[in-house]
């Protein structure tokens, strides 16, 4: 389905072998419900890699990108639970970007998602318009459930927090992110020789654009509405 809001927090992370089992437990039992319970958070999803790095990708859909600067959210970032402290110190290669939703098309959720990070865009308006027009066609292709385009929110700096201090290195950030949801990974791979080929994306972005891809399987999804019904 189309994204639920106009803001999105995109996160990739690796995890140490010793910390992985606890990471999976914590994400489902505490962390995603904690985040999705905040005002303005609409849904959280977590995926694991079929191909791509780091191993885990997750994102939160929010009312706006400003939701991710709210006092309530900042308070959580600066007061991590003991469980969060124990798990986050095992994170590796973390990328975390506050994004604005540019366009979103679809109906329902796909079990698989391709993340396409695009950097080095020369003309933001032309790139946005070109991809938005192409996304409408992609969304109609066999096996494709939804397509979303987001970009790093203007003026959103990665301010240090108690939680970010637990990680071993500064968080990376993405510039533009194209997300394609599908029923099976083969439907995603089929697009790589057509409308979503690296060549086509570089024509829209710039000849020197950096493109990084990953295909991930959905592990868990939770909406704010679901959480409210349980309380």
The total of other beta-carbon atoms located within 10 Å of residue 28's CB is 14
pLDDT bin (cut points 50, 70, 90) of residue 230 is: confident
Residue 51 token pair = 């191909």
**pLDDT tens sequence across 13-64:** 999 999 999 999 999 999 999 999 999 999 999 999 999 999 999 999 999 9
Dihedral sign from CA coordinates of 20, 212, 44, 98 = positive
Q: Above 70 in pLDDT, residue 157? A: no
Report domain extents, the chain: 7-229
CA-wise closest residue to 61 among 99, 115, 20, 108: 99
Q: Which CATH class is domain 7-229?
A: alpha beta
**Cis peptide, bond prior to residue 201, ω within 30 of zero:** no
pLDDT above 70 (res 156): no
φ and ψ of 150, to 5 deg: -130, 160
Q: Nearest CA to 187 among 103, 104, 112?
A: 112
* pTM recorded for the entire structure: 0.96
């Amino acid at each position: 389905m189309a994204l639920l809001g106009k803001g999105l927090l995109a996160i990739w992370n690796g995890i140490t072998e010793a910390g992985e089992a606890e990471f999976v437990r914590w994400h489902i039992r505490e962390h995603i419900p904690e985040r999705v319970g905040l005002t303005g958070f609409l849904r959280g999803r977590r995926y694991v890699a079929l191909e791509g790095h780091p191993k885990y990708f997750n994102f939160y859909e929010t009312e706006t990108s400003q939701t991710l600067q709210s006092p309530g959210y900042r308070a959580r970032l600066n007061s991590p639970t003991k469980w969060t402290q124990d798990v986050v110190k095992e994170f590796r290669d973390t990328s975390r970007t506050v994004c604005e939703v540019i366009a979103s098309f679809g109906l329902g959720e796909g079990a698989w998602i391709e993340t396409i990070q695009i950097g080095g865009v020369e003309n933001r308006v032309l790139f946005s318009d070109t991809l938005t027009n192409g996304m409408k066609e992609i969304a109609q292709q066999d096996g494709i459930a939804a397509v979303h385009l987001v970009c790093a929110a203007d003026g959103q700096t990665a301010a240090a927090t108690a939680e970010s201090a637990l990680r071993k290195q500064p968080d990376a950030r993405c510039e533009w992110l194209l997300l394609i949801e599908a029923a099976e990974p083969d439907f995603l791979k089929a697009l790589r020789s057509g409308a979503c080929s690296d060549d086509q994306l570089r024509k829209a972005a710039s000849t020197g654009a950096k493109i990084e891809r990953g295909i991930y399987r959905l592990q868990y999804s939770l909406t704010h509405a679901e959480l409210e019904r349980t309380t």
